[in-house]
Structures are given as structure tokens and as C-alpha cells.
Structure 1
Amino acid sequence: MEEFLAPLSKSLQPYKDHIAQGATIITILQLLSPALLVNEIRKAKTTKNFTIAPFIGGGVLSIMFVVFGQLMNDPTTIKVNMIGVILSVIYITAFYIYTPIEEKFNVWFKVGLAGAFSAIMIGYTKYEDPNLVEQRFGLILTLLLYAVIASPMTELKEVIRNKSTEGLPFPIIFMGFLVGLSWLTYGVVLNNAFIILQNLVVVLLCGFQLSFFLIYPSKKVVKDKKKRN
């Protein structure tokens, strides 16, 4: 693949900095999207009916990508995901503030598990064969990324049954598509097969989910029928 894409990579080299800046800006916008959920929690003044999973998941992924950026010696990846780590800390802190006293221990427990997992992964990179660590750690990171990106697909059964995309988070999916596309382009510039394949799957997963918004409305058909009656 790298030999096949070499000519395209070479032709894009003059635009490398601009493509990197574009990918950075789009990723930061995606990292800011959980702020909308935090605002909903602030309005409700409680975390009841909300989950901390998106904030913890985003934080773990950001930490993993910082480590991966260090393995690749890529300043852009490190810089963007350091911002993600900082934002995740802010989101988790805000979540904790609005968590009822009886539930605060659960927050600490989940954060502790995430921290332990991150520490284990970081430790793994220190002891793995230097010739294999980038590839193997990248595979682990890719599986985690796919799990997060594909999570809305658990709602597709309901979407098809109700013929409505009301349960799908369009902004998150759409931003995921744009981020995947921008980093796919950056991967082509670097002529890095791993980054290309990783983000190609992200684009395909998000694109598949977005296609349902073209097929079904964002409101439940049942409600529309009730209104007509």
C-alpha cells in the first residue's frame, strides 16, 4: 500500500502543514462536543439519567493516542490528544460535581478502573519489543477506537424497527466522519498504512450510520401517525 500511495503522498507534501492543522481543528471541535452533554447536566443539576462512560472513554482514548503519538514521534497526534486529556478531566470533574453523594463512590471506582487500564497499557509500551510495540499497541488502540465509534450501531435495530433515526446522535457521528476523513488524508500525506487503514474503517463505520439519516426521518413515525389521527 505504501508503494502504491507514494506518488499521492509526495504530491500532498507541500500541503502537509495545512492538512495537519485542518485535522487538528476538526478533532478539537469533536473533543468539545461532550460539552453539550455537560451543559445538559448543568441544567438538570444532577447526573441522574446520564452516564459518565463517554467522558471516561474519551479520556482513555486521548491518553492512548498521546502514547501512540510518542511511539510514532508525531507532534500533531500528541498535541491534539493532550487537549483531549485536559478536556476529559474537565468533563469528568463537572460530572462528579453534579453527581449525588450516594453515587460519588461509583464515579471514583469507574475513573480508577480507567486509570488502571491506562497505566497497564502505558506500562506495556515500556516492556514490549521496540520493533513490535508500535504495531501491536496500534492494534489495541484501533480496537478501542472502533468500539467507541461503532457504539451507536447498537441502536440500529430500533432505528430500523421504528423507521426513525431519533435515537442516533447525528452531531457525534457526523463529527466522527469528518475527523476520520481528515486523519485519513493526513495518513496519506505521511504514507502511513496503519493510520490510513485505521481511519478508513472509521469513515466507513460513520458513513454507514449516516446513511440511515437519508433513509429515515429523525422523528418517530408512530408519533407522526398519532398526530394525524
Structure 2
Amino acid sequence: MVSHLVKTIRNVVGITGNVISLSLFLSPVPTFVQIWKKGSVEQFSPAPYLAALINCMVWVIYGLPMVHPNSILVVTINGAGSAIEVVYLALFLIFCHEKRKRSKVLLIMVVELIFIAVVTILVLTVVHTHKSRSLVVGIIAILFNIMMYAAPLSVMKLVISTKSVEYMPFFLSFASFLNGVAWTTYAFLPFDPFIAAPNGLGTLLSLAQLLLYATYYKSTKRIMAARQENKIEMHRSEAVVDGGDGEPKMTGGAPYRTHPSAI
């Protein structure tokens, strides 16, 4: 009776985790829409998406029936996540105008695919019990899951140095936090240390990102407003024409003095 109840609760939490994780994987969509519109990746980092891709692929292996039985919910969400991350990285490659950076991202993706293929073959041929396979893949999964949560640390460093959260999407951080909470809960029904450890740490890292976002949200608004003002001033300065008497004049208007910071 108790075992059946725990299993039911586990399934409910797992399905909830799938929904939240899907939201996590889709949360960068506004970022890539912005990249699409601008036609450039600007300073957006591919690190979180590369880390998420390898993380998802490792967890697909972990959830396979021949590795860790009764973990189909782990396979479904991470299989979907792998496909979504590939789409993101493809868009990043398309809109990245730095050849060296684009080549580096592509090389990392190829290395990740080779690594996954090697791990899968070795685990299924060399290791012969579910317990041993779960242990091997579980340890690898912990490492890459921590990498997925820790990858935005590079972006957090940028946030602190620029005092702007422009390049740290809020929804990605928020979805990461909810995702960590859901899967940490799932890991205790029954206890699975390989799921609990990285997701518990991930919850803390995501919370740190949210606190950072709250700290620099107002300063970001000020920075973006100042940038917009400078753009307006620059557009006005471009409209200045020489009236022939050596005095600058705006087209259709009175003499105009540009802002000191306008170029």
C-alpha cells in the first residue's frame, strides 16, 4: 500500500518535472528570437546549451531500461531536451559571425557525440549488471549535470562586471530553479543519489542567479535607457548638415548641438 502510494507520488512528481524541464528547455526561445531579429548572437554564450546537450544525452543513457530500469520519465524529457538543444546550437552557428568561435562550437558538439557513443558502447558491452551500469553512468551524469547548472557562472561573471543582466535571461534562471526543486524531490521517491546530488546543487546555483538578477535588474534598466538615449542622439547627429556658412543645422530645423557623448 505504502509502496504503491510512493510510486504514484513519484510518477506525479516525475511528470511535473517533465513539464518544468520542458519549460526550462524552451525558456531560451525569446533569446533566440532576439538573436534571429538582430541577425547576430552578440555576447550570448553557447556554453549553457553545449552543457545542456551533453547533460541530456548522458541522462538518456542513464534512464535506459538496460541501465537503470523504471526511469522512462528520465528518458522522455532528456530525449526531448537533446533535440531542443541541437536546434538552439544550430541557430547559434547560423548567426555567429566569428568563424573561430563557430568552429569551436561545432568541434565541441562533435566531441560530445563521439563521447556519448563511446560511453554507450562500453557500458552495454563491458558492464553487465544494472547496479554497475547505473553507478558508472550515474557518476558521469552527476558531473555533466553540475556542468549544466554551473555553465551560466561565466554569464554571472559578465553580469557582475557589467552590472547588467541583459545577457542572463531571467526565464532560464527561474526555470532552472524550479527544475532543480522538482527533480530533487523526485530523487527521494525512492532515494536516488545520482539524481539528488546534482539537482540539489543546481537548485542552489539557480537561486544564486535569481538573487544576482534581482540585484542588477534596476541598473540594467538604467544602462539600457542610457544606451537608447545615445542611439537617439547619434541619429540626430547624423541628421546634422552643413548649411554652407560653417554652422551646423538640422534638416528642417534650428541649429543643433550634439550630446557630448555622441560621435
Match of 2:68 among 51, 54, 72: 72
Query: Residue type matched to 1:110 in 2?
Result: I
Mapping of residues 69-148 of structure 1, within 5 Å: 69-70=63-64, 71-73=67-69, 74-100=71-97, 102=99, 105-126=103-124, 127-128=126-127, 130=129, 131-148=131-148
TM-score, normalising length: structure 1: 0.76
Query: Residue type matched to 1:17 in 2?
Result: N
Q: Does 1:58 align with 2:52?
A: yes
* 3-state DSSP of counterpart to 2:57: helix
Confirm or deny: 8 A CA contact 2:164 2:217 kept in the other structure. yes
TM-score, normalising length: structure 2: 0.68
The structure with the largest helix share of the pair is 1
Structure 1 residue 19: deviation in Å? Answer: 1.6
Confirm or deny: 8 A CA contact 1:166 1:217 kept in the other structure. no
Per-residue CA shift, 1:161-214, capped at 9, x if unaligned?
777766644322221110011111111223323322332222222223333445
Greater RCO structure (CA 8 Å; 6+ sep): 1
* Matched-pair identity in %: 23
Unaligned runs of 5+ in 2: 227-263
How large is the RMSD of aligned CA atoms in angstroms? 3.3
* 3-state DSSP of counterpart to 1:145: helix
Match of 1:41 among 17, 22, 35: 35
Aligned to 2:15: 21
Confirm or deny: 8 A CA contact 1:166 1:219 kept in the other structure. no
* 3-state DSSP of counterpart to 2:36: helix
* 3-state DSSP of counterpart to 1:72: coil
